[in-house]
Structure 1
Amino acid sequence: MSVGVDPAAGAGAGPRHARWLLWLPLCAFGIVLAVVLWGLFLPADRTVYSAMVGKPLPAFTLPAIAPGKPGVTDADFRRGAPRLLNVFASWCVPCVAEAPQLLTLKAAGVPIDAVAIKDTPADVAAFLQRHGDPYASVGSDPHSRLQLALGSSGVPETFVVDGRGIIRLQHVGDIRPEDVPELLQALAAARTPGAGTAR
């Protein structure tokens, strides 16, 4: 007894297979396009950290810009106690977002000095009146010279500086509520000699 092959079945398989081959390049293109778009829109860490972490502050003297407050010098950071150096600007939206956290740090007894970038006395005064004033001193950096010397890539940025004037930690971006304990811990660690870190 012989087994026969239905010619109709074999004839139908060819065109179906050919249709799949037509769709294959389109599917491959769709997959490649999806991967490329995913890579473009995936948030990447493009943060640039300062090479100054673990090194002394550069020498600087900044004139006062806030009414009733002194300017800032590097000597202010060599008085034996750790301090924060906050780089901000009145025109900076994330600086507004971090203002409550700076006030929390001030209330915890943290001394905070500031560098106002490309700002005016009137704008700084209005900013501090509107959002609170956590600063012991505020210096003017109209041409971003100190900002560049610190290796700061934007505003806001905050540096933990130990009592010998050594930068122990860099916090890039606005300080959020969850960052406050880390900064307090870094300030406590800055009371003893050791290497700094960037974050």
Structure 2
Amino acid sequence: MKKIEIVYKEILYQAIEKKNYTFKQSELSKKLGFSLSTINLAVKKLEKMNAVKINKMNFKVIDTKKILYLWASIRNIEKDIIYQTRAEMPVREIEKNLPNITYAAYSAYKYKFRDVPADYSEVYVYADEEELEEIKKRFPQNEKNPNLFVLKKSSSLYLKTGTTAQIFVDLWNLRQWYASDFLKALEQRIAERVKTE
């Protein structure tokens, strides 16, 4: 995941999950461990598209959806796949047999919202190197059509199911037809929570 994506992820996490719409660039820089110029570049892009309003001491999110769609459009989920295999078992069993990982996409939606808008047959998760080794032991390499995808975990993942915005952008980038059912349901949930001036 690119640094600019992590900046958008943090802004969206605060706006959607915490209902915090006001930020200081210096605080984001310190929290994420990125240079002020990286934060400034990300925020300037958002200002250009009228998603944030920059004030003297801070900036304010004025259109969360624009930020969400921008991030979704630049996200490349395939680039983050570090392992994929075929597990000859139902999705529910795959999920149950995973080590302590962060769920992504369909599974993340299911566990976060206790809902499944459509049946799905692939499991996406985020894992670090240690978790990946355990996954490989439990789900050895199989060259058949993969149904378990492990994505590189960034240090900025938050919850067992990831953030709402992370789930959205990951679903946005999946090719399976049922991703659109999950996206529609998630868009409704987000619309109920976010601010658009």
TM-score by length of structure 1 reads 0.30
Higher helix share: 2
CA radius of gyration, larger in: 1
